[in-house]
């Protein structure tokens, strides 16, 4: 009788553990069998074999967004500081913060859209507005540039294959020097399997050999930098979401400095 009692206890404990496992939070970046992303802390061998000029220009200034709506300002801050790091900096020059950007730049209702109140019921920037704010920010902080190219993407585009091929070429070109940077506007859930809404972050590196993109996600309360496949990257930039706030799809802004 005792043996049967203990056997029942073991069976009960097993099913209790199974129930606990079933109700536990899901993994970050997808499932164990089908992960969407690979976190940098466990996947950094790329930097042992490649110069990664963008990464080393940006990572010293990798800061979190200060509010739920300021991913654009945080991303621009990282890029502006990375651009400034290439020149001579004086002792009285502070790093460029979100606060300083918002103080100097207010095109496209930038300040209102990043505020808690928002603007006309919206928060954050569309891809088109992001390009204009990036340009205004470079001018406000006297950072000379050759061009700023803003590309809106959609998975409904008739020329989607050519757009995808062009983005791959740009990533390859961008990885060659620390004088140009890409800011991505994407559906965050496509990359992380959580919160399928609009988000903005800089591209930190491109692994051409394995066709992977490193995202310096400014949502640092929840994420670290992570690698995603090029296909996932393009999907995130071009896939719409009901949480985009009426802005449509995403895309990218490519900045080339003088």
DSSP string, 79-99: HHHHHHTTS---TT-PPPPHH
Tell me which residue of 220, 191, 185, 180 sits closest to 38, measured CA to CA.
Answer: 191
* 243 — pLDDT class (breaks 50, 70, 90): low
**pLDDT of 242:** 65
Least confident segment among 18-27, 58-67, 176-185, 220-229: 18-27
Q: Which residues, 6 or more positions from 95, have their beta carbon under 8 angstroms from its beta carbon?
A: 61, 81
Rounded CA gap, 245 and 125, in Å?
A: 10
Share of the chain above pLDDT 90, in %: 70
Q: Tell me what the pLDDT averaged over the chain comes to.
A: 88
Quick check: is 80 in a domain?
A: yes
Inter-residue contact 181 to 204 (CB < 8 Å): no
**How many Å separate Cα 22 from the centre of its chain?**
30
Residue 11 above 70 pLDDT?
Answer: no
**pLDDT of 60:** 95
Quick check: is 21 in a domain?
A: no
Q: What is the pLDDT of residues 206-216, one digit of tens each?
A: 999 999 999 99
223-226 CB contacts, 8 Å cutoff, 24+ apart: 223/28, 223/192, 224/39, 224/40, 224/41, 225/39, 225/40, 225/62, 226/29, 226/37, 226/38, 226/39, 226/40, 226/191, 226/192
Quick check: is 13 in a domain?
A: no
Model-level pTM?
Answer: 0.88
Instruction: DSSP letter for 64, please.
Output: -
Rounded CA gap, 219 and 201, in Å?
A: 8
Tell me which residue of 184, 225, 224 sits closest to 201, measured CA to CA.
Answer: 184
* 103 — pLDDT class (breaks 50, 70, 90): very high
Quick check: is 7 in a domain?
A: no
Bridge partners of 30?
35
Inter-residue contact 238 to 161 (CB < 8 Å): no
Encoded tokens for 222: 């929840």
Q: Any idea what the CATH number is for the domain that residue 131 is in?
A: 3.90.70.30
Q: What is the pLDDT of residues 27-73, one digit of tens each?
A: 888 887 778 899 999 999 999 999 999 999 999 999 999 999 999 99
**pLDDT of 2:** 45
Quick check: is 70 in a domain?
A: yes
Domain range for 73 is 26-257
What average pLDDT does the segment 64-87 reach?
Answer: 93
Quick check: is 20 in a domain?
A: no
What average pLDDT does the segment 183-191 reach?
Answer: 94
Residue 238 above 90 pLDDT?
Answer: yes
Quick check: is 3 in a domain?
A: no
Number of domains in the chain: 1
Quick check: is 18 in a domain?
A: no
Cα-Cα-Cα-Cα dihedral sign, residues 226, 229, 230, 234: negative
């Amino acid at each position: 009788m005792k043996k049967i009692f203990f056997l029942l206890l073991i069976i009960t404990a097993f099913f209790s553990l199974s129930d606990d496992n079933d109700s536990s939070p899901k993994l970050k970046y997808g499932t164990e069998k089908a992960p969407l992303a690979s976190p940098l802390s466990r996947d950094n061998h790329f930097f042992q074999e490649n110069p990664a000029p963008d990464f080393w220009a940006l990572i010293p200034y990798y800061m979190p967004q200060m509010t739920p709506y300021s991913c654009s300002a945080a991303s621009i801050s990282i890029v502006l500081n990375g651009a400034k790091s290439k020149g001579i900096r004086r002792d009285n020059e502070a790093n460029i913060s979100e606060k300083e950007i918002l103080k100097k730049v207010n095109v496209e209702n930038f300040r209102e859209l990043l505020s808690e109140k928002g603007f006309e019921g919206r928060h954050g920037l569309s891809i088109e507005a992001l390009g204009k704010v990036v340009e205004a920010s470079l001018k406000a902080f006297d950072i000379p540039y050759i061009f700023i190219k803003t590309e809106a993407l959609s998975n409904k585009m008739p020329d989607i294959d050519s757009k995808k091929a062009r983005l791959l070429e740009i990533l390859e070109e961008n990885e060659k020097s620390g004088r140009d940077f890409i800011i991505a506007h994407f559906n965050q859930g496509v990359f992380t399997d959580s919160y399928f809404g609009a988000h903005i972050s800089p591209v930190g590196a491109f692994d051409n050999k394995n066709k992977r993109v490193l995202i310096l996600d400014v949502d640092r309360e929840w994420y670290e930098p992570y690698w995603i496949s090029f296909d996932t990257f393009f999907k995130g930039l071009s896939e719409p979401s009901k949480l985009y706030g009426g802005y449509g799809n995403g895309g990218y802004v490519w900045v080339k400095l003088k």
